[in-house]
Amino acid sequence: MQDLPWLLPAPQDYSAQCRAVLESAGDIGQDLQRLAGFRLSSPQALSYARLLRKLTVGGRDLSPLAPLKLAIVSNATMEFVADHLPAAAARHGVALEIVQAEFGLVMQEAIDPASRVNASGADAVLLAVDHRWLGLTDLGGDDAAQAGGAVAKLLEAARLFRDHGGAVPILPLLATPAESLFGSFDRRVAGSLASKISRVNQAILDFAEGEGGYLFDVDAIARSVGAAQWFDPVAWNGQKQPFHPAFNALYADRLGALLGAVRGKARKCLVLDLDNTLWGGAIGDDGLAGIVLGQGSAAGESFLNVQLTAKALKARGVILAVSSKNDDEVARSAFREHSEMILKESDIAVFQANWIDKASNLEGIAAALSLGLDALVLLDDNPAERAHVRSALPMVAVPELPNDPAWFPQVLLAAGYFETVSFGEDDVIRAASYAENAQRAEVLAKSRDLGDYLTALEMTLSCGPFDAANRARVTQLINKSNQFNLLTRKLTEADVQGLEADPAVVTLQARLGDRYGDMGLISVVTCRVDGREATVTDWLMSCRVLGRKVEEAIYDVLVSTLSGRGVETLHATYAPTKKNGMVAEHFDRLGLRRVAETVGGVRRYEASIADYVPPELPMKIELFQDVRTRG
């Protein structure tokens, strides 16, 4: 986790982007938060730190980042860690100013009321000391006495900083070195370093409970990467670096999360995608029996753990919401009827399952909960959806996720979105009160300028007539697609073969690939040609590719094909069923003219081929077999 996998890597021109912010006259707070959202190398973190220092000194308004002045005292060299702190703090909503005491000066800074730290007006002081400063050794002696004396010194410093300068102390929970003298027997021997550190940590915990201050659990960070990795003799002996510099970014991010919590910037709501996030597969396609969830398989267990993690967060006061591209009833059926579901509808405060884009749904969720977008985290397995939301709503936290859902819980928790500095009954009660009845927020699809989002997907649509190689898959898609299906004809493989061979029928199958992979066959269209007239006989599409202008692209290929065959007028029909309400306006959106509507809701359309104006399309179109040369 030291590589912060939930963050995207920084762009190549990162330092240049930092410098550009200096020239910018406008709203730089958002830019700063965006630039802090990347995984940064040390030189990149340093560029950011320099940028922030210049902006702070220049007195610029950095809202919505909340300012915090942090003093750091240490027995170790903290400069290189401090390089990473401004970006880490901004990532968690804080504009950080650092007051770095001179190397080794801890008690001196605390005792002198006019010391650099005490005179700085710092909001908080990080006492970044370790067992070495406390003089704890493995040389035996009375555990209690050694630990007691050492921690008394530390706590005295904390009180002095608080009393002299008003800075709230941030106390570490100390990491324990991995070396042991007796191996497994160490735990039974009095006077071991580990047992002394353990006593010190307990005293620090008691201080925080009794007198206040914040805890920074360096012990947990070290354990997460392994104490043997954490303490590095080359780094300590050489430059008195407290731990291996490879962990500077991780330490900084953890501290940033703490400072964000101090400023009330921790996130409050976890929005969950459903398909392939809370269960394997797609409930719309696979049904209750087909989704993967439960003890029967490794994948099934992964998804159980994702649900357990969400439930645990809810018990800690985090609000849960759902945003999924699915039919509402179909999505809820999993919560109501699947025996392995850990999450119930009653756990979800706002339940958005519809065909509207996710960004609009997230805005609806935030509004329904009276929260800012900066309170939301989106957990979604689909990289295209993640990119869409990041592009449309940069204030929403969207962690990058690995392909294997086994890791989703760990990566989500490691990102530290829900760090807190206080917790009580009220938090649980408040969160529970939101999740009354899985309310549905009314959402309107907003027309957004997503800029380059669709182009950045690097999509390729491959189209061609039906062929023998794909006949089975075409037949399957025809029979499986009930929602995005205009005429809902059910055909057998023999029927499909008949269409292939029929010279009077234009057949079209389309596959879509993008930078994240190949989605396979996603749309089927057939059209019967009769002289200068043509009639659409099938039009269906996988719901996975909504919102990408695939319909427009396919229409473009169809019109081009028909034009090549001398067709002048195209006819089309929408035949309503219980399931295909989402495509009632499909032909209207493509620009066909609605010429009739029956009482039953059947809609007839016409379009003149000559009047067609090709739109701008964000994808590359490949004709894998020239559709026009058939027949």
Look up residue 329 and give its amino acid.
E
Q: Which of residues 534-553 bind other proteins (CB under 8 A)?
A: none
What would the x/- binding string for other proteins be over residues 121 to 160, using CB under 8 A? ----------------------------------------
Is residue 505 within 8 A of residue 527, CB to CB? The reply is: yes
Distance of closest approach, residue 232 Cβ to other proteins, in angstroms: 9
Query: Is there binding between residue 520 and other proteins (CB under 8 A)?
Result: no
Query: Is there binding between residue 246 and other proteins (CB under 8 A)?
Result: yes
Query: Which CB, 86 or 465, lies closer to other proteins?
Result: 86
Q: Which of 4, 10, 36, 46 binds other proteins (CB under 8 A)?
A: 46
Q: In what order do the strands lie in the sheet with 319-325?
A: 350-354, 319-325, 269-272, 376-379
Query: Which CB, 247 or 303, lies closer to other proteins?
Result: 247
Cβ-count burial 112-146 (b if 16+ within 10 Å, e if not) = eeebbbbebebbbbbbbbbbbbbebebeeeebeeb
Query: Which CB, 50 or 628, lies closer to other proteins?
Result: 50
3-state secondary structure of 549: coil
State the SS3 of 107-154.
Answer: HHHHHCCCCCCCCCCCCEEEEECCCCCCCCCCCCCCHHHHHHHHHHHH
Q: Which of residues 47-76 bind other proteins (CB under 8 A)?
A: 47, 50
Cα–Cα distances in angstroms (integers) from residue 355 to residues 23, 57, 389, 422, 542, in the given order: 41, 48, 15, 39, 12
Query: Which CB, 43 or 212, lies closer to other proteins?
Result: 43
Interface stretch with other proteins, choices 40-48, 212-220, 406-414, 532-540 (CB under 8 A): 40-48
Residue 467 makes CB contacts below 8 A (sequence gap 6+) with 500, 509, 625
Torsion angle of alpha carbons 53, 56, 61, 64, nearest 10°? 60
Q: Which of residues 205-234 bind other proteins (CB under 8 A)?
A: 233-234
Query: Which CB, 41 or 297, lies closer to other proteins?
Result: 41
Query: Which CB, 74 or 523, lies closer to other proteins?
Result: 74
Query: Which CB, 25 or 234, lies closer to other proteins?
Result: 234
Q: What is the DSSP letter of 65?
A: S
Query: Is there binding between residue 184 and other proteins (CB under 8 A)?
Result: no
Distance of closest approach, residue 139 Cβ to other proteins, in angstroms: 24
Query: Where would I find the beta strands (DSSP E) of 284-344?
Result: 319-325
Q: Phi then psi for 86, rounded to 5 degrees?
A: -60, -45
Query: Which CB, 83 or 514, lies closer to other proteins?
Result: 83
Query: Is there binding between residue 625 and other proteins (CB under 8 A)?
Result: no
Query: Is there binding between residue 44 and other proteins (CB under 8 A)?
Result: yes
Distance of closest approach, residue 193 Cβ to other proteins, in angstroms: 23
Is residue 175 within 8 A of residue 227, CB to CB? The reply is: yes
CA distance from start to end of the chain: 59
Interface stretch with other proteins, choices 35-43, 65-73, 304-312, 492-500 (CB under 8 A): 35-43
Angle at 615 between CA 556 and CA 624, to 5 degrees: 35
Cα(43)–Cα(20) distance, integer angstroms: 17
Binding footprint of other proteins, residue count (CB under 8 A):
19
Q: Which of 24, 63, 202, 239 binds other proteins (CB under 8 A)?
A: 239
List beta partners, residue 272. Answer: 322, 379
Query: Is there binding between residue 83 and other proteins (CB under 8 A)?
Result: yes
* Strand pairing category for 168-172 and 214-216: parallel
Distance of closest approach, residue 234 Cβ to other proteins, in angstroms: 5
Distance of closest approach, residue 351 Cβ to other proteins, in angstroms: 44
Of 615, 551, 624, 630, the C-alpha closest to 585 is 551
Interface stretch with other proteins, choices 160-168, 195-203, 240-248, 616-624 (CB under 8 A): 240-248
Cα(606)–Cα(83) distance, integer angstroms: 65
Query: Which CB, 50 or 579, lies closer to other proteins?
Result: 50
Q: Which of 245, 260, 280, 317 binds other proteins (CB under 8 A)?
A: 245
Q: Which of 11, 13, 41, 492 binds other proteins (CB under 8 A)?
A: 41
Reply yes or no: is the peptide bond before residue 172 cis, omega within 30 of 0: no
Query: Which CB, 15 or 482, lies closer to other proteins?
Result: 15
Distance of closest approach, residue 11 Cβ to other proteins, in angstroms: 14
Cα(1)–Cα(87) distance, integer angstroms: 18
Distance of closest approach, residue 136 Cβ to other proteins, in angstroms: 24
Interface stretch with other proteins, choices 56-64, 235-243, 461-469, 566-574 (CB under 8 A): 235-243
Query: Which CB, 236 or 516, lies closer to other proteins?
Result: 236
Query: Is there binding between residue 20 and other proteins (CB under 8 A)?
Result: no
Burial of 188 by CB count in 10 Å (0-12 exposed, 13-18 middle, 19+ buried)?
exposed
Query: Which CB, 229 or 535, lies closer to other proteins?
Result: 229
Distance of closest approach, residue 15 Cβ to other proteins, in angstroms: 6
Is residue 421 within 8 A of residue 168, CB to CB? The reply is: no
Residues binding other proteins (CB under 8 A): 15, 41-44, 46-47, 50, 79-80, 83, 233-234, 237-239, 245-246, 248
